[in-house]
Amino acid sequence: MTDYFFDPALRAKIESLLLPDVQTPGQYIGGEPGSIVKRADAVQGRLCFAFPDLYTIGMSNYALQLLYAVMNRREDWACERVFCPAPDMEAILRRNNLPLYSLETFSPLDRFDVLGFTLQYELCYTNILTMLDLGRVPIHSEKRTMAHPLVIAGGPSVCNPEPLAKFIDLFVIGDGEESLPEICDAWLELKRTHCPRREATLELTRRFPYVYAPQFYRQEICNDRRAGTPYPLEKEAPETIQRAVVTDVDAYPTPTNPVLPFIESVQDRISIEIMRGCPGSCKFCQSSPIKRPIRIRSVDSIVGAAREACLATGVRDVSLLSLSSSDYPQFDELMLKLRETLTPLGVSIAVPSLRVNHQLSDVTRALTTERSSGITIAPEAALDEMRRRIFKRVTNDDLIAGCRSAFENGFSRVKMYFMCGLPEETDADIDGIAALSQEIAYLGKSVLKRFPSIVASVSNFVPKPQTPFQRNSMQTRKYFTEVHRRLRTAKHVGAVQIKYHGLETSIAEATICRGDRRMCDVIETAWRNGARLDAWREYFQPDVWHNALASHNIPVDAAVHTPYNDSSELPWGHITSKPYKMGCENLCDVF
């Protein structure tokens, strides 16, 4: 046995044949500060954490850094990383008949025990097929044997796992800090017994209530051409899948020596999770129901992790991570201690998730403009009446007061997130986006004596699974086209930018996230016809998706633009938000 799993021959080929001909080669060479390589004779199992997007996105993902640290703290497991290659790298790998490999040891993906994907966004699904195929792992789960890695997937998009049912062995619902090690250990145990793959997978389904193995379920198509809720074919498989919940997030500390990317990533800063869950109950939000209940990290653990990470890495920007950071119960105390600890080190503090409520004025006074002169907030709608309907419990008075406080404290940029296409939306709601943005621009001018920069980013509403709006339909292409026209022609001062998301990508997102098992064939067809990196505007090919949907006769109107009545089965009805392993004594329900 060699000391390490490292494949020097593969690395030599990569360096000599490939890297001179690809863009940004730093994303393919590994060896970054903070990365961990373990001896082959020191571990029993190997996990490769697979992020189905480019390195620059994946290295900014907190879940990757956290679970990488969780698994590598164990002496008996090695966790490595792999990202989706850009098309130029994919082409070169295929041309030279070389596999996709992990960054730590240049190991092909088929040499791992477990291959774990995180599903952050539906338009990354074709990337999963790219990575499996390049990694020499059969893309269809039914064609894998015990010689292949167990392919699992977790993350927010597993709220509806059916569009990937043919490709993933096991979906892991909920938090991963405890569930991932449990599954990895159990799989290694079953491999040692030489158990057939199907029986081994069924055993995992039996043991863990938060595991969903699609091969043991059947989904039928109803008379309205919609799919019903999958039902189990084996008595060991549960009818509904629960959600794994970590009760004490402080037991899994924020990594203090994270992997530092060699190239610029989307978020070049230290991310510190301060709270999991959200006190809000917005009807459109998928994150809130799948992250409940609220669990908080202690002030001392947050401050200590931030200080250690900055000293270990030299990074001088810290971002507080939460669905609503300003709702952290000891927010003022936290900010005071962070400033006392980090300011002498020249470290700035960012709070990107600010709730628009009566506290916004106080929060903006607690922030600084050391490295950033802007704040980002999400009013979602421009009028108070719409916010009441979607349970966004804020008012324009709160927003105006908060922005005034921000301008008075030196901030000169405000970015606001809105949605269009919400249920019962009117022309006044759309026109209000420009009107409210302009009002804030003039407010800034009155305080700053010059116009601030105001950006209103407008997304197209997609009714997501597991939300109160999951039975609603998405507005039609015609509707959004008219809304975008109104936004484009709205009158406002030059200091205001109104941007809206691409309609084709939003419809594709809705078609996938609200789809059923038939979408597997659509995704595979689109991938075989060239769909790659669909979340990137420069790579997305709408015609490829249109043709794939047409070739499989998928009823897009029924899935996307027609609501479900209260008695209809949902394609994702077997996935519940019911928590598993809740330790109520450790949970914070103070809100």
> CB-side exposure of 516: number of CA atoms within 13 Å?
24
Q: What's the pLDDT tens digit per position in 360-414? A: 555 555 565 555 578 888 899 999 999 999 998 889 998 998 899 889 888 899 9
The DSSP line for 107-157 is -BGGGSSEEEEE---GGGHHHHHHHHHHTT--SSGGG--TTSPEEEEESGG
Quote the tokens at residue 482.
């008219």
Considering 449, 473, 501, which residue would you say is the last residue of a domain? Answer: 501
Residue span of the structural domain in which 368 resides: 354-501
Is there a domain that residue 446 lies in?
yes
Contact partners, residue 392, CB within 8 Å, separation at least 6: 280, 282, 379, 380, 381
Distance separating alpha carbons of residues 529 and 546, to the nearest angstrom: 11
Give the pLDDT score at 362: 55
- State the chain's maximal CA–CA distance in angstroms: 74
Pairing of strands 275-276, 348-350: unpaired
Starting at the edge strand that comes first in sequence, how are the strands of the sheet with 45-51 ordered?
Answer: 77-83, 45-51, 114-118, 150-154, 170-172, 211-212
One domain for residues 360 and 329? no
- How many helices (H) and strands (E) would you count in the chain? 19, 19
Asked if residue 179 is part of any domain, the answer here is yes
Same domain, 372 and 328: no
Is 336 found in the same domain as 390?
no
Question: Are 565 and 471 within 8 A, CB to CB?
Answer: yes
Same-domain pairing of 430 and 359? yes
Quick one: tokens of 212? 């969903």
28 and 119 fall within a common domain = yes
Task: Give CA–CA dist 293/246, Å, rounded.
Answer: 10
The 3-state DSSP class for residue 365 equals helix
322: domain CATH number?
A: 3.30.750.210
What is the DSSP pairing of strand 217-218 with strand 231-232?
antiparallel
Cβ pair 176, 63 in contact under 8 A: yes
Looking at the structure, tell me whether residues 183 and 231 fall in a common domain.
yes
Q: Do 18 and 94 fall into the same domain? A: yes
Residue 145 burial (CB < 10 Å; 0-12/13-18/19+)?
exposed
Are 34 and 270 in contact by the 8 Å Cβ rule? The answer is no
Q: d(Cα 163, Cα 572) in Å, to the nearest integer?
A: 10
And the tokens for 581? 């392993």
455 and 343 together in one domain: no
26 within a domain of the structure (yes/no): yes
Residue 203 to residue 460: CA distance in whole angstroms: 41
**Residue 475: what are its φ and ψ, rounded to 5°?**
-65, 160
User: 512 in a domain, yes or no?
Assistant: no
Q: What pairing do the DSSP bridges indicate for beta strands 275-276 and 295-296?
A: antiparallel
Last residue of a domain, one of 244, 259, 291: 244
Collect the ranges in the chain with pLDDT lower than 50.
1, 358, 582-591
Residues 358 and 457 in one domain: yes
79 and 206 inside one domain:
yes
CB 175 within 8 A of CB 247: no
Place of tokens 């653990």: 301
Each as own residue / partner, the long-range contacts of residues 218-222 (CB below 8 Å, 24 or more positions apart, any chain) are 219/162, 219/165, 219/516, 219/517, 219/571, 221/516, 221/518, 222/569
Q: Label residue 414 exposed, middle or buried (CB < 10 Å: 0-12, 13-18, 19+).
A: buried
> Is there a single domain that holds both residue 227 and residue 279?
no
pTM of the model: 0.93
Which of 244, 261, 277 terminates a domain? The answer is: 244
Question: Can you give the pLDDT at residue 584?
Answer: 39
Model pLDDT for residues 101-123, shown as the tens digit of each residue: 999 999 999 999 999 999 999 99
Calpha distance 125→531 (Å, rounded): 10
Exposure of 491 in the CB half-sphere (CA atoms within 13 A): 0
CATH of the domain at 470: 3.20.20.70
Paired with 48 in beta bridges are 80, 115
- Classify residue 207: in a domain, yes or no: yes
The domain total for the chain is 3
Does residue 486 lie in a domain region? yes
Confirm if 90 and 28 have CB atoms less than 8 A apart.
no
Q: Give domain status of residue 249, yes or no.
A: no
Handedness of CA 298, 275, 329, 308 (dihedral sign): positive
Secondary structure string (H, E, C) spanning 441-473: HHHHHHHHCCCCEEEEEEEECCCCCCCCCCCCC
- Tokens at 505, concatenated: 């990508």
Q: Do 386 and 422 have their domain in common? A: yes
**What pLDDT does residue 573 have?**
95
SS3 514: coil
